[in-house]
Amino acid sequence: MISLVALAANSLAGTNVRVNGICPGLIETDMTKMIFDRAREKGTEARIGQLNPLHRAGKPDEIAKVALFLASDDASYVNGQVLAVDGGLSSSLPVVSTKPR
């Protein structure tokens, strides 16, 4: 993903086209519905997202807002970037928390 975005952004240089990407974390969608449903049935829903610093799963609108930002004039100087929208999971790896959960 990172290489594809960088290649596309550089290939389109000078065309006024910006290329960016979003790497989402665990988001409750139709694709992940089975994971969430199973956790609810088992009573382990609180454990979903426990590995990321926010200790929760993401919501579709949180990804949508990042996409809207990247498509807006507010991001006019953002190009060739891949944003991790994962509750901080990628920033905490391979760091292991010593805090008890």
pLDDT tens per residue, range 16-58:
999 999 999 999 999 999 999 999 999 998 898 888 899 999 9
Contact 87, 53 (CB under 8 A): yes
The CATH number of 2-92, from 3.40.50.10800, 3.40.640.10, 3.40.50.720, 1.10.8.60, is 3.40.50.720
Percentage with pLDDT > 70 across the chain: 92
pTM for this one? 0.83
Cα(63)–Cα(80) distance, integer angstroms: 18
DSSP notation for the chain: -HHHHHHHHHHTTTTT----EEEE-SB-STTTHHHHHHHHHHT-GGGTTTTSTT-S-B-HHHHHHHHHHHHSGGGTT--S-EEEESTTHHHHSS----S--
